[in-house]
Structure formats: C-alpha cells, structure tokens
Amino acid sequence: MGIILIISGAVAMPLIYDAMIKVVVDDMMQLTPSSPIYDEWANPTVPLLSKFYFFEVQNPDEVINGDKPALVERGPYSYKLIVKRANVTSNANGTISSIPVYTYVFDREKSVGDESDTFLSINMPMTSTAYMMKDESRFVKQSMSLVLEALGESMFKRLSVADLLWGYDEPLFELVEKFFPIPGVGSQFGFLLGYNGTDINGMFTVYDGVANKSKLNHVNRWKGQTELDMWYTPEANMMNGTDGMMWHPFVEQNETLPLFHQDYCRTMPYIYKEDQMFKGIPLKRYYLAPFAYENGTTYPPNKGFCNEETCAPAGIQRMDPCRFGSPMGLSNPHFLYADPWLSDQITGLNPDVEKHENYFLLEPKMGMPYTMRMRLQINMYIENVGGIKQMGNVRTMYYPAIWFAQEVDVPDDVIKSYRLGFQLTGLIVDIMKYAMIVIGSLMVIPASIALVNTCYTKHQNKSSELDEEKKPLLTNESRRDNHSNITSVYAEDGKEMPGILSES
C-alpha cells in the first residue's frame, strides 16, 4: 500500500493536475457567449494606453543642403484606448465576426504636454508627391515645383500633436481632390485620420476555437477577404495569426506566434526570447522577430514584400502598396536591430531594447498576453528629385517621422484569478503529491525494517543449523573425557591399561 501511495504521489498526481488544467482551459478558451472570456473579448476592460513620440528637426536648412538631420524626440503624448466590438455575429462555420472600434481619449497626466504642442516635422504629403514625380519629365517636375511653391509647401512644416494625429487641412491634397480625386484620399492628412470612434478597421472574422483549439482567434477573413492583394507573392498576401488579444492555449515555447494587423498590411512573426516574471507570474517573452523587417536578399521568405525599386535595407519594410504609393517604411523605433546605414544618416537616435523592442509576455497555458508593448516607427523615404527645388540637395535616407507604442498590463484582479486558478491548484496538488510520498514512505519504512529483521533471523537460524551439522564426532575435549572414563574403569578392576591408552 505504501509503495502504491509513493508511485501515485510522484507520477499520478502531476498527470491528474495536467488533465484538470487542460479540461478547464479548453472549456474556458473559446469565443462563445457561455465562455468566461467572451465578454472581455467583446468589450475589453483591461486598460489600454497608446503613446506617441514625434521627431523634431533642429537643422532644417542644413538638411535641405545635404546634411544629416539632427532630431530630438518629443513625447510621450498618451491616450487611453477604449476598444469595443460592433456587430458581433457567430457564424455556422465555427467563426465569429465583429468590427473593432477604437476610441482615443487624451491622457494629460501621462503626457509631457498638451495636444496643442507643435513641432517642426517632415512634410510627408510634399515629400511623397516629390517621390511620385521622380520619373516624370523635367518639365512636369518643374511645373509641380511651381505648384508646391504657390501652395506654400516646403520639406518641413510646423504642426501640432492634434494635427499630426487626427488630421489637418493639407493644401496639396485639397488640390488633388479637386482635380484628380483618389479613392480613400481626402483633403486632410493625419496618422490616425478617421480612426477615432469609427468602423474604419473593417469586419474581422476569426475562428471561435470550439472545433479546433489551435485556430482560436486566428483571422479567417478581413473585410470579406481571405487574403491580401497588394504584395508580390501568395505567401506575402496570406492573412495568418491572431489580432494579438490571444493565441491558442498550451503554446509551445519554440512556436512562432503570428499576428495580423490591418495597419501593417501583413502578418508579423513573434518568436520566443526568454522566461520572465510579471507580478510573481512566470511568463514567456516573445518579441517581433528581427527577420520581420529583413528584405528578400537577407531573408528570402520576405521577397514578396518588395520589388526591385522598394526593397529597403535590412530593418525596414516599405509600405508603398499599402499606402497609395507613398514611400513609407515600417521599422522598430530608433531603428533597433536594423542595418547601421539607416541610423548613420540621422543624428539623435538611441536604440534601446527595453524602450524600443516590440514584445509581449505570454501565459502559455491560456495563450494570453499579460503585458504587451507593441512598438512601431513610421519612416519616410527621401531622395533628391531633380527639378523639384523644394527637395534641394537632400541626401537619400529613411527619415523617422513618428513612433508609437500600444501598452497593456493586466490588472491585479486578473493576477489574483491566475493565482487562485493555477498557482493555488498547483500548490494543492504539490502538497497532496508530497503528502502521499511521505505517508507511503512512513508505511514502507517500518515494513522494510520488519522484513529485514525477519530475513536476518532466518539467516542466523540457518547458520546455526549448518554449524551443528559440520561438527566432528570426537573433539579433543571429548577424547579426554573418554580417556578419563576408561582409566577409571581399569583402575577399579585392578587391571593394566592397553599400551595405546597408556601412551596417550
């Protein structure tokens, strides 16, 4: 019985614990109205914060004449991000559809200034226009230069935080809209123009995870499409991964976790980096793989994201097809993990892993991130375009315009639930396991001692019996006793003993 308890404690209890956790997690991690995570998925209550950092140029005239830009980072300017899912619909094929609506609320306490703060920033509409004209005839370019001059356009423009994020009236776009309207492009420009409180993100359809746990929250369709149509290979146009809110349960450490984001116009791969503690919870750190921004030469699987004209140095990805032909590029903030050439063209950048790495800390049993730092930098490709005097003699470079971070840290009540659900259960199982081992040992030890004693006693008895069997019939002592007896007999009879006896 004791041995059974020891084996049960050492082997059976961990297996029972794993089975219990799997049943609980499988039941919990699915996007159905009866699931405990459904309401949080539909209307997240976890605090979300978006932080924006701008680069202000200190030497605009020198840049136009060919010098390196001297940049100073301004920020953060922070916004509380409220996410709601509209038009939530469960589908018969094991998917669920919704439209995520993002609402931004300025948080002055977590910002360095007001939305009215202004910076001398790169004029992205003007530099984009110059780039698009670079292959036109000199006459066309000179004519465009005159138009830009009449509109008061220059390479740099002083704009406020609110202008840069939520949009401002752009004279160049007003002119284009009047004579050459482009679908999706209005008369304003802003990084988040049209995003605040609208359904601009479109309809997402994801797997609910009931029939196949490995597909939980994976994108099935976006805006009705099962793949993108802007890149150069089928692989690049694939919509893999989740929206980052959760992955499938029981994530293996060596997995690559894909994240699809509509603003990136692609799937981004995250890979394991290290184990890390967060508020006493053991988590796994996954970060945006450095090869995500590699070009097709240094990382062949990325060849579908650029062509001969748009392939950039390692560490930055051009987004021209996703941004109406504008030569914008995505990278890690401050060109972290990028080709040194990119930062060599700029002064004022200081890449730092803790400040600029794009990562999340994942709880692998549930496949849910407990903290996220989604960081991204938007850069503008600039080169000298002969015939457009506003570009001067500017050097070829990728000019950092803005970087932002979406930050999430689960609140203490989630941590408490984890401790009650996993750590307390694990502790109870450990206590039961070791109790069974101890009790079993206490039962086995006395029985073992008794068994040893019994075996020892039997061994001793058997040894005594063998010794008796091996004794000679006459020992020296018995001979002396017999000799004395015989002598006594002859003495009593008055006879003389035989010689052999007398000699002895």
pLDDT tens, position by position, 147-194:
999 999 999 999 999 999 999 999 988 887 777 676 667 889 999 999
Q: What is the DSSP letter of 386?
A: T
| C-beta of residue 361 within 8 angstroms of C-beta of residue 285 | yes
**What distances in angstroms separate CA 341 from CA 72, 105, 410, one per listed residue?**
19, 37, 38
User: DSSP 3-state assignment of 243?
Assistant: coil
- pLDDT at residue 408 above 80? yes
User: DSSP 3-state assignment of 89?
Assistant: strand
Lowest mean pLDDT: which of 183-197, 355-369, 476-490?
Answer: 476-490
Cα 164 from Cα 106, distance rounded (Å): 14
pLDDT band, residue 497 (cuts 50/70/90)? very low
Tell me which residue of 355, 396, 360 sits closest to 244, measured CA to CA. Answer: 360
User: Tens digits of per-residue pLDDT, 238-268?
Assistant: 999 999 999 999 999 999 999 998 988 999 9
| C-beta of residue 11 within 8 angstroms of C-beta of residue 437 | no
- pLDDT at residue 140 above 60? yes
pTM: 0.81
What's the mean pLDDT in 500-504? 38
Q: How much is the pLDDT for 22?
A: 78
**What burial class does residue 180 get, using C-beta atoms within 10 Å of its C-beta: 0-12 exposed, 13-18 middle, 19+ buried?**
exposed
pLDDT band, residue 435 (cuts 50/70/90)? very low
User: Phi, psi at residue 369, to the nearest 5°?
Assistant: -75, 135
Higher pLDDT, 162 or 279: 162
Q: How much is the pLDDT for 430?
A: 47
Tell me which residue of 393, 389, 485 sits closest to 149, measured CA to CA. Answer: 389
User: Tens digits of per-residue pLDDT, 391-400?
Assistant: 999 999 999 9
Joined together, the tokens standing for residue 82 give: 């409220």
Q: How much is the pLDDT for 9?
A: 46
